[in-house]
Amino acid sequence: MKTVKIPPKHPRAESLRMREVLKQGFEEGIVVEQGLMAHGRGEAFDYLLGEKTTPPASEAITVSAAALLLAEKPVISVNGNVSMLTPREVVRLAEVVGAKIEVNLFHRSSDREIAVMSRLRSFGAGEVLGVGDKASAELHGLKSLRRWVDPDGMLVADTVLVPLEDGDRTAALRSMGKTVLTIDLNPLSRTAQTASVTIVDNVIRAMPLLVKEAERRRGEATDSLGDVVKGFDNQVNLEKSISYIADRLMQISASKDDA
Ligand code: PTJ
């Protein structure tokens, strides 16, 4: 299939470029059809947010960076979409915070696991967990194939970053006492509502900012990082994101009334 050439000055160039990246991932067997649909849902919420990182999202990014730096056994979970959209940032974030990278797919197949791992490796990843027989431990309370995790990774992790996720696994990981960080454009999704920290933002904006924040705070005293995490309330932060959308829509509608 042909790739469309996107004019750099096109007002929606970045959004169109992302679609082409995901389409390429689909053709390479990395992204599933459902991943394309999930992206469309994300795009709709991104429109409502004004396609920028909001103040509550920035706050959640700061808290997530601190939580990852404080973690003893952090893991970054990667699915098809994330491996296409932000592979470089996944690898860099793992380096900065000392996290393991684990492939965990909802629509699991051996070929896809290997394809996602190969893509991450092509961006410099070393060890990639969760592939093939390595995913031999079971998360209880989960029916989907996401329940198979790596005994050296997600099973024993204290903090897990699950960008662009479906809700069940977040709930299962939380019930095991783990800190779950997510990036989800939909503040109403089950994942967003269940996670310990939800960054309501597009992964393509949030991941580079998360890397930057982790780089900036690396070396900061444990007490000071602990203070950042301690004061955070995810429900309050989600309410701020929802209010941000509501206020924005009210302003837009008021400006149309004035016209
Ligand atoms: O690669 P697999 O097999 O693991 O499958 C991955 C998908 C995404 C298909 C799977 O996890 C899934 O079905 O996810 P959901 O339940 O559709 O949830 C995806 C969530 O991510 C939705 O709330 C979307 O709004 C949100 N989302 C989509 N694109 C982005 C996003 N959030 C942040 N950045 C995005 N680019």
**119 within domain boundaries:** yes
The per-residue pLDDT for 2 is 59
* Bridge partners of residue 128, in order along the sequence: 101
Q: What is the pLDDT of residues 108-129, one digit of tens each?
A: 999 999 999 999 999 999 999 9
**25 within domain boundaries:** no
| Ligand 1, pocket residues at CB < 6 Å | 32, 34-35, 38-39, 41-42, 45, 79-81, 85, 105-107, 164-166, 183-186, 189, 202-203
Q: What is the pLDDT of residues 216-254, one digit of tens each?
A: 999 999 999 999 999 899 999 999 999 999 999 999 998
Instruction: State the closest ligand 1 atom to the C-alpha of 166, by its place in the atom list counted from 1.
Output: 16
Phi first, then psi: give them for residue 67, nearest 5 degrees.
Answer: -65, -40
**156 within domain boundaries:** yes
Greatest CA separation for the chain = 62
- What is the residue-averaged pLDDT of the chain? 95
Going by pLDDT thresholds of 50, 70 and 90, the confidence category of residue 1 is: low
**95 within domain boundaries:** yes
Going by pLDDT thresholds of 50, 70 and 90, the confidence category of residue 259 is: low
Question: What angle in degrees, to the nearest 10, is found between the helix axes of 13-27 and 33-49?
Answer: 170
Rounded to 5 degrees, what angle do the CA atoms 214, 12, 28 make? Answer: 70
Q: What is the pLDDT of residues 148-207, one digit of tens each?
A: 999 999 999 999 999 998 788 999 999 999 999 999 999 999 999 999 999 999 999 999
pLDDT above 90 covers a percentage of the chain that reads: 86
Please enumerate in sequence order all residues whose Cβ is within 8 A of that of 217, keeping only pairs 6 or more positions apart, or say none. 65, 66, 69, 225
d(CA 69, ligand 1 centre) in Å:
25
- Classify strands 179-183 and 159-161 as parallel, antiparallel or unpaired: parallel
The per-residue pLDDT for 5 is 76
Best substitution site from 45, 166, 170, 203 to test ligand 1's pocket, by max atoms within 8 Å of Cβ? 166
The per-residue pLDDT for 215 is 98
The per-residue pLDDT for 10 is 75
**62 within domain boundaries:** yes
**42 within domain boundaries:** no
Quick check: 147 pLDDT over 90?
yes
Q: What is the pLDDT of residues 58-99, one digit of tens each?
A: 999 999 999 999 999 999 999 999 999 999 999 999 999 999
The per-residue pLDDT for 7 is 74
Instruction: State the closest ligand 1 atom to the C-alpha of 165, by its place in the atom list counted from 1.
Output: 11
Place of tokens 């380096």: 95
CATH number of the domain that residue 228 is part of: 3.40.50.12640
Taking the C-alpha atoms of residue 6 and residue 162, their distance in angstroms, rounded to an integer, is 30
**248 within domain boundaries:** no
**227 within domain boundaries:** yes
Quick check: 3 pLDDT over 90?
no
The per-residue pLDDT for 15 is 85
DSSP H or E stretch at residue 26 = helix 13-27
d(CA 73, ligand 1 centre) in Å:
25
Three-state secondary-structure class, residue 146: helix
Give the domain range for residue 216.
55-242
Number of structural domains the chain divides into? 1
